[in-house]
């Protein structure tokens, strides 16, 4: 939503908005002159508004959304608004259950390096974009991170799709893995005949979704694991880089541009982000992502103890994938579990699993602890960086808490 706000602002619209609470991203938007109210209030919707764009995370009975109907104001969901842009540009959509943000960042930076000057809408902040999730370009190219939650991607009409993988994710939307694959297949049929699909050969769900695609299909990861010279660790990032390169190559970009980007890229906000020499923040919230991040940390810090502090995101995901979560932490020496982060409007479960349930299920297999609040994990910041690596994993508010703590922490204690 914030990237879309920046886009409208770049097109000389007057932009305002509202949210539940103040965040770092909202502070950034305010610095650009976007007025943002905190709290739900129908008065935030003005009669002279030309368009209201809303997140699919809110329900139809949301007071501000209802007010748009009272006033007769045109509305679009985020996905509908972004979908309109994809019809006006030569769009590259990076899709998949995992790796979207990193792959989007890499192909965007490669196109910029090659002088193709794309407009970019991405799901994380990049230092190369001035710590923004949006870049305005002057060419025909638009690069977007295409999320599948709530079937958002069915609104997009790209000329190229880079498909990283398909996993058991967003089952609150799709019900089953088969449902996920079937909807990816529908989405891939949006690519025109003269368009391109770039997909991971060794991901069987991606191959299933690609069956019958009417566009040109290019598979990567067919033989050997790619070995690009990257600053960001992990086998999964090798695959992300290869996917980005395959997309760039189709556009006639020389390998030198990709190699320069691979050598310079330091990672994105909350994606294996090093906050201090021994402290990382990572967005991992799915068992596959947890495994990949911990395995990458283990290879990078083979002689140090890895402490994973994990805040599950959504009770729905924890409940549906509970057996997978129980086996996701083998790469850590110690696990500390926090209560589940519950986004408003998306938790309506009966007999839902909790972090305490997960702790009870893994405590005999791993060195695990349970903390019922952030206060209980504060002590872990005061740990020698010669012996311990701390990784804070969360798609919720753990990252914001961590950054606030680090901003005034007395590092001379270490």
pLDDT-wise least confident of 115-124, 195-204, 240-249, 379-388: 379-388
> Is 298 in the same domain as 389?
yes
Report the distance separating Cα 122 and Cα 145, nearest Å. 5
pLDDT of 150 above 70: yes
> Is 33 in the same domain as 153?
no
pLDDT of 412 above 60: no
Torsion of CA 262, 264, 270, 275, to 10 degrees: 140
Query: Is the CB of residue 331 less than 8 Å from the CB of residue 45?
Result: no
CB atoms within 10 A of CB 282: 25
> Is residue 84 situated within a structural domain?
no
> Is 127 in the same domain as 154?
yes
Side-chain half-sphere CA neighbours of 397 within 13 A:
13
pLDDT at position 345: 56
Whole-number Cα distances in Å, 138 to 16, 224, 376:
25, 37, 49
> Is 120 in the same domain as 235?
yes
- Percent of the chain past pLDDT 70, that is, above it, reads 95
Q: Which two tokens stand for residue 81?
A: 């608004």
Q: Which of 23, 51, 77 is the last residue of a domain?
A: 77
Q: What is the pLDDT of residues 87-132, one digit of tens each?
A: 999 999 999 999 999 999 999 999 999 999 999 999 888 989 988 9
Report the distance separating Cα 340 and Cα 353, nearest Å. 9
Q: What is the pLDDT of residues 294-351, one digit of tens each?
A: 988 888 888 889 999 999 998 888 998 999 999 999 999 999 999 998 876 555 566 8
pLDDT of 245 above 90: yes
- β-bridge pairing 51-54 and 90-95: unpaired
pLDDT at position 240: 95
> Is 207 in the same domain as 306?
no
> Is 95 in the same domain as 33?
no
> Is residue 148 situated within a structural domain?
yes
Give DSSP secondary structure letters for 146-159: ---GGGGGGG---S
From 81, 124, 88, 130, select the one nearest 105 (Cα to Cα).
Answer: 124
Q: How many domains does the chain have?
A: 3
pLDDT at position 254: 95
pLDDT at position 348: 55
From 144, 150, 178, select the one nearest 55 (Cα to Cα).
Answer: 150
Q: Which residue has the tokens 């911990």?
A: 294
pLDDT of 380 above 50: yes
Q: What is the pLDDT of residues 201-215, one digit of tens each?
A: 999 999 999 998 999
> Is residue 189 situated within a structural domain?
yes
> Is 165 in the same domain as 293?
no
Q: Which two tokens stand for residue 9?
A: 């602002």
- 367 torsion bin: left (phi>0), alpha (psi -120 to 50), beta (else): beta
> Is 228 in the same domain as 344?
no
Q: What is the pLDDT of residues 158-179, one digit of tens each?
A: 999 999 999 888 888 888 989 9
> Is 159 in the same domain as 28?
no
Q: Which of 246, 264, 282 is the last residue of a domain?
A: 264
From 20, 12, 17, select the one nearest 1 (Cα to Cα).
Answer: 17
> Is 192 in the same domain as 104?
yes
> Is residue 328 situated within a structural domain?
yes
> Is residue 47 situated within a structural domain?
yes
> Is 105 in the same domain as 236?
yes
CATH number of residue 62's parent domain: 3.40.50.720
Q: Which of 77, 106, 129 is the last residue of a domain?
A: 77
CATH number of residue 350's parent domain: 3.90.190.20
pLDDT of 370 above 50: yes
pLDDT at position 49: 95
Query: Is the CB of residue 391 less than 8 Å from the CB of residue 297?
Result: yes
> Is residue 83 situated within a structural domain?
no
Report the distance separating Cα 65 and Cα 243, nearest Å. 39
Q: Which residue has the tokens 């996993």?
A: 167
Handedness of CA 65, 69, 70, 74 (dihedral sign): positive
Report helix angle 2-10 to 24-31, nearest 10: 10
* Mean of per-residue pLDDT scores for the chain: 91
CATH number of residue 98's parent domain: 3.40.1190.10
pLDDT of 410 above 70: no
CB atoms within 10 A of CB 50: 8
pLDDT of 411 above 50: no
> Is residue 218 situated within a structural domain?
yes
User: Which residue segment(s) compose the domain that 235 sits in?
Assistant: 89-264
> Is residue 82 situated within a structural domain?
no
Confidence of residue 47 (pLDDT cuts 50, 70, 90): very high
Report the distance separating Cα 391 and Cα 297, nearest Å. 9
């Amino acid at each position: 939503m914030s990237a879309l706000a920046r886009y409208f602002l770049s097109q000389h619209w007057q932009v305002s908005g509202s949210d539940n609470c103040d965040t770092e991203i909202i502070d950034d938007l305010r610095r650009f002159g976007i007025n943002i109210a905190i709290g739900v209030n129908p008065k935030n919707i003005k009669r002279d508004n030309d368009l209201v764009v809303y997140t699919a995370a809110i329900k139809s009975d949301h007071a501000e959304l209802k007010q748009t109907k009272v006033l007769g104001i045109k509305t679009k969901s985020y996905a509908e608004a972004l979908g309109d842009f994809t019809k006006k540009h030569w769009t590259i959509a990076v899709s998949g259950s995992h790796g979207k943000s990193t792959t989007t960042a890499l192909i965007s930076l490669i196109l910029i390096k090659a002088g193709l000057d794309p407009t970019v809408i991405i799901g994380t902040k990049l230092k190369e974009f001035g710590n923004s999730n949006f870049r305005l370009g002057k060419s025909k190219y638009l690069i977007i991170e295409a999320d599948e939650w709530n079937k958002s991607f069915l609104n997009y009409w790209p000329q190229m799709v880079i498909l990283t993988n398909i996993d058991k994710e967003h089952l609150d939307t799709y019900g089953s893995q088969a449902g996920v694959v079937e909807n990816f297949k529908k989405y891939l049929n949006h690519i025109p005949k003269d368009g391109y699909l770039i997909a991971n050969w060794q991901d069987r769900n991606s191959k299933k979704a690609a069956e019958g695609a009417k566009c040109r299909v290019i598979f990567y990861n067919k033989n050997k694991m790619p070995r690009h010279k990257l600053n960001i660790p992990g086998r999964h990032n090798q695959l992300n880089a290869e996917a980005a390169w395959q997309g760039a190559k189709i556009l006639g970009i020389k390998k030198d541009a990709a190699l320069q980007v691979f050598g310079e890229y330091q990672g994105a906000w909350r994606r294996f982000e090093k906050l201090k020499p021994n402290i990382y923040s990572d967005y991992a919230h799915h068992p596959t992502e947890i495994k990949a991040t911990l395995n990458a940390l283990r290879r990078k810090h083979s002689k140090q103890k890895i402490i994973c502090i994990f805040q599950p995101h959504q009770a729905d995901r924890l409940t549906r994938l509970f057996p997978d979560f129980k086996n996701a932490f083998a790469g850590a020496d110690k696990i500390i579990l926090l209560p589940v982060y519950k986004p408003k409007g998306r938790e309506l479960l009966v007999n839902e699993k909790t972090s305490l349930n997960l702790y009870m299920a893994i405590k005999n297999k791993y060195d695990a602890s349970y903390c019922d609040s952030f206060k209980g994990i504060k002590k872990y910041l005061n740990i020698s960086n010669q012996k311990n690596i701390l990784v804070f994993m969360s798609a919720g508010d753990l990252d914001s808490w961590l950054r606030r703590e680090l901003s005034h922490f007395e590092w001379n204690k270490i």
